[in-house]
Structure 1
Amino acid sequence: LVSDVTTWLIVGTPGLILGLVVAVLRFDLNLRVSWMAVPAMSLVALTTTTVGLAIAYAATPPVTNMVTQLIVFIALMFSPINFPADRLPEWLQTIHQVLPFQYMAQAVRETLTTPLDGIAAPPFAVLAAWCTAGLVITLRIMTRRD
């Protein structure tokens, strides 16, 4: 599990850095990078990796493909990452209070453009809970004996 997670974190890091560099150059962003940026991005990457592994180990390959495509679709089209949450219907806002998508975006945004009132703790708590759940489920499935 550690080698799997480490591999995916290493593979994803260049894309993350390149995407940030391109965004800064293209959109002329003024970043106020906090020392929490690396831990925040690491937690986001670790959370997505562990939840993804939990899905992959818990389901058959066709179900895993369907679920991951559904997650990508929902995350890009129906989650408050690219637009404010108040543009969503109330029932979807409520669902996103539990899902990690908006908290991932908030953790990254706040550590790259530190707000005057500081970085909020709830996104880190929610992501830690999702990361822990992903790790527990994955380890449980990997170590069970039939």
Structure 2
Amino acid sequence: MTTFNDFKYVFQMQFNKNFGYLPYYVILQIIISLGIVIGFTYLIGSSDTEAILFLATGAPTLVLIITGIVLLPQQIATSKTEGYHQFLRTWPVNRCIILVADTLIWLIVVIPGIVISILVAHFMFYPGYDVTWTLVPALLLTAFTSIGIGYGFSYLLPPQLSMALSNVLAFGSLMFAPINFPMERLPAWLQNVHDFLLLYSMAEVMRDALATSTFAASTGNYVNLAVWGIVGFCGTIVLINKK
């Protein structure tokens, strides 16, 4: 019961602190998701069903990635600059509770953008969704991994460096990661790199969950994400407990 009360207290504190920014984050995620689903169709200049399906299934993945590696690090960097990070570490609660509470808040932020992008893509383009029950675990695993990695380098690096790295990762995931296009379009060496990185695995599990008759994620994709997520959160716990 004590753990639940601690979680309730921490969640309320963190939610109230960020309440003024949360609507902005929600709107931003909706704009990003719609920009990918609709705006990228003008860029590729094609109504090919496969291309549309890549955009439709890639948009939720990018929303989760941008939340975890861009918005979250920016929020933590601001907290460090304001001194709130040091204040947070004085709370008489388990540090894991702080991470779980923050993770839940960011999950709430990303859900509207994901739902709206899926619905808009369906009614505008009819890309050929074939949703399975794996959507929920795929979404949660992708979100936890993205948030875990965002937490990890945000607590490890100074605010300026973490914000710079988040921008580099956002640009790389948008332009050079096989999220909105097939892996085969990349050079062979970059394909080999993505086999070990988390971005391609995120895209694969989300594509498999949203269009299982067209795409298929491997067990290795799920294992890869789980390893990255565990490393991110465990590293964050070590850093946040470090004196």
TM-score range, shorter chain: over 0.9
User: 2:139 aligns to what?
Assistant: 41
Q: Give the superposition deviation at 1:26.
A: 2.0
Q: TM-score scaled by structure 1? A: 0.92
- The structure where helix makes up a greater share of residues is 2
Q: Give the superposition deviation at 1:49.
A: 0.7
Paired residues, number = 145
Question: In the alignment, does 2:198 pair up with 1:100?
Answer: yes
Q: Percent identity?
A: 34
Q: Give the superposition deviation at 1:115.
A: 2.9
Question: In the alignment, does 2:138 pair up with 1:30?
Answer: no
Moved over 4 A (4+): 116-119
Alignment check: 8 A CA contact 2:207 2:216 kept: no
Whole-Å separation in 1 of the counterparts to 2:222 and 2:188: 23
Whole-Å separation in 2 of the counterparts to 1:80 and 1:32: 20
Residue 73 of structure 1: which of 154, 171, 174 is its match?
171
Aligned-residue CA RMSD (Å): 1.6
User: 1:134 aligns to what?
Assistant: 232
User: 1:85 aligns to what?
Assistant: 183
Q: Give the superposition deviation at 1:50.
A: 0.9
Q: TM-score scaled by structure 2? A: 0.57
Whole-Å separation in 2 of the counterparts to 1:11 and 1:115: 29
Whole-Å separation in 2 of the counterparts to 1:56 and 1:37: 28
Whole-Å separation in 2 of the counterparts to 1:117 and 1:106: 8
Query: If you compute each CA radius of gyration, which structure gives the higher value, 1 or 2?
Result: 2
Alignment check: 8 A CA contact 2:103 2:144 kept: yes
* Structure 1: segments with no counterpart, 5+ residues: none
Structure 1 residues 24 and 5 mapped into 2: Cα distance closer, same or farther (>3 Å)? same
Amino acid in structure 2 at the alignment position of 1:31: Y
* Structure 2: segments with no counterpart, 5+ residues: 1-98
1:122-146: CA deviation from partner (whole Å, max 9, x where unpaired): 211111111101111111101112x
Higher relative contact order structure (alpha carbons within 8 Å, sequence separation ≥ 6): 1
Q: Give the superposition deviation at 1:30.
A: 2.5
